[in-house]
Amino acid sequence: MTTTCSAPGKIYLFGEHAVVYGEPAIACAVELRTRVIAKKSNEITISSDIGTTKLDFDMHPYVSSAIRKLGSPDVFIEITSEIPVGSGLGSSAAVTIATLSAINIEFGLGYEKEELAKMGHEIEKEVQGAASPTDTFVSTFGGVVEIPSRKRLNLLDCDVVIGNTNKGASPKKTAKLVQQVARLKEEHPDIINPIIKTIGSFAKQGELMVSQKNYTSLGKLMNVNHGLLDALGVSTMELSALVYAARNAGAYGAKLTGAGGGGCMVALSDSPREVAEAIEKAGGRAIITRATPEGVIQI
């Protein structure tokens, strides 16, 4: 028997960085997936684009940690992914959750999804030092979700266009940028604290707009959110160039997604090809995708 599971990546509509200080955020699973095949074997093997290894916490830290978390069964694991790595789209959460789920089914371990999400978050913390539960939660359950309440909102009906700067991709980037914002906050609390509070307030307003499917207003707020992330110092010239290109091509709104400092931006649009073309012209790699209600699934 073999078991194949896939788990989605995610974008933030609102609230990255502020969520670190307890403010609400809205994240959305997207139809870009990491697929993991698990097969009972007589040794542990992990095979991916990076290469083929045994348990290897340098080359395959998330998958090795997931195997160990489930008691180190002898398993052959093969990974393929559509999610750019270390670019703010939750690639590490997706591979972790898909691996946990595939091994869980292949070996009949009987864990519930809730438990897999919790293990996934623990693994992200072990590997990265710090991680919010957002990525692993959204990758497990899918949909548009308010954090930390976990309230599930309406699915987005419009297209989601992701623009990758192809710069600054690194799993360590998130920790560095979170520290950078923390320093700025310490230096200028009177100025930075209200910005963080304002970013938190987008989630409440955004929730209403998502439920009304009012993408014009939602997009405008995403634009304001991008401006405030820029004010926190986490945008880059390349990210903002892609954000402006997407807006000029008619997107409802566009902002960086995730930690920033490079990585990806996201735009909502009903004319995704025009927006994607503009992003490519501005030097980015565009991906047209959709929100997905589906978290980790067996395929």
Return the residue nearest ligand PMV (CB atom).
258
Bridge partners of 256?
265
Please give the positions annotated as active site: 135
- Name which position in 84, 258, 262, 272 contacts ligand PMV (CB under 6 A): 258
Show contacts with ligand PMV in window 64-93 (CB under 6 A): 88, 90
- Name which position in 134, 164, 225, 289 contacts ligand PMV (CB under 6 A): 134
Stretch near ligand PMV under the rule CB under 6 A, chosen from 17-25, 74-82, 138-146, 194-202: 17-25
Bridge partners of 254?
267
Q: Rounded to an integer, what distance in angstroms lies between the CA atom of residue 77 and that of residue 38?
A: 5
Residue 16 CB, nearest approach to ligand PMV (Å): 4
Stretch near ligand PMV under the rule CB under 6 A, chosen from 12-20, 48-56, 157-165, 285-293: 12-20
Stretch near ligand PMV under the rule CB under 6 A, chosen from 14-22, 156-164, 194-202, 248-256: 14-22
Q: Does 297 bind ligand PMV (CB under 6 A)?
A: no
Q: Does 16 bind ligand PMV (CB under 6 A)?
A: yes
Residue 166 CB, nearest approach to ligand PMV (Å): 15
The residues, ordered by sequence, that sit 6+ positions from 180 with a Cβ below 8 Å of its Cβ are: 233, 234
Give the interface with ligand PMV as residue ranges (CB under 6 A). 16-17, 19-20, 88, 90, 131-132, 134-135, 174, 178, 258-259
